[in-house]
Amino acid sequence: MAFNLEKLLRPHIANIKPYSSARDEYSGKAGIFLDANENPFGSMASGSFNRYPDPYQLDIKQKLAEVKNVFANQIFLGNGSDEAIDLLMRAFCIPGQDNIILLPPTYGMYEVSAGINDIEIQKVNLTEDYQLRPDAILEAVNESTKIIFICSPNNPSGNKVNRKDIYQVLDNFNGLLVVDEAYIDFSDEPSFTTELEKYPNLLVMQTFSKAWGLASLRIGMAFASEKIIKILNLIKPPYNISGLTQEKVLEALENADAIHQVVKDTFVERQFLEAEVSKFPFLKKIFPSHANFILIKVDGARAIYEFLIEQTIIIRDRSKVVLCEDCLRVSVGTREENEAFLKALNLFKP
Q: What residues line the site for ligand PLP (CB under 6 A)?
A: 80-82, 107, 151, 155, 180, 182, 207, 209-210, 215, 220
52 vs 107 by CB, closer to ligand PLP: 107
230 vs 316 by CB, closer to ligand PLP: 316
294 vs 344 by CB, closer to ligand PLP: 294
Contacts of range 20-27, beta carbons closer than 8 Å, 24 or more positions apart: 21/52, 21/55, 21/238, 21/239, 22/52, 23/52, 23/54, 23/55, 23/238, 24/55, 24/238, 27/54
- Minimum Å gap between C-beta 282 and ligand PLP is 26
Is 123 within 8 Å of 103 (Cβ atoms)?
yes
- Minimum Å gap between C-beta 182 and ligand PLP is 4
| Residue with the CB atom nearest ligand PLP in the bound state | 80
Q: Which residues contact 159 (CB under 8 A, 6 or more apart)?
A: 129, 130, 131, 153, 287, 288, 289, 290
175 vs 220 by CB, closer to ligand PLP: 220
- Minimum Å gap between C-beta 116 and ligand PLP is 15
Q: Is 11 exposed, middle or buried (0-12, 13-18, 19+ CB in 10 A)?
A: exposed
Pairing of strands 293-298, 327-331: antiparallel
- Minimum Å gap between C-beta 207 and ligand PLP is 3
113 vs 201 by CB, closer to ligand PLP: 113
184 vs 304 by CB, closer to ligand PLP: 184
Beta strands in 29-86 (DSSP E): 75-78
- Minimum Å gap between C-beta 55 and ligand PLP is 19
Q: DSSP code of 9?
A: S
- Minimum Å gap between C-beta 317 and ligand PLP is 16
- H helix or E strand, kind and range, residue 149: strand 145-151
- Minimum Å gap between C-beta 346 and ligand PLP is 29
151 vs 313 by CB, closer to ligand PLP: 151
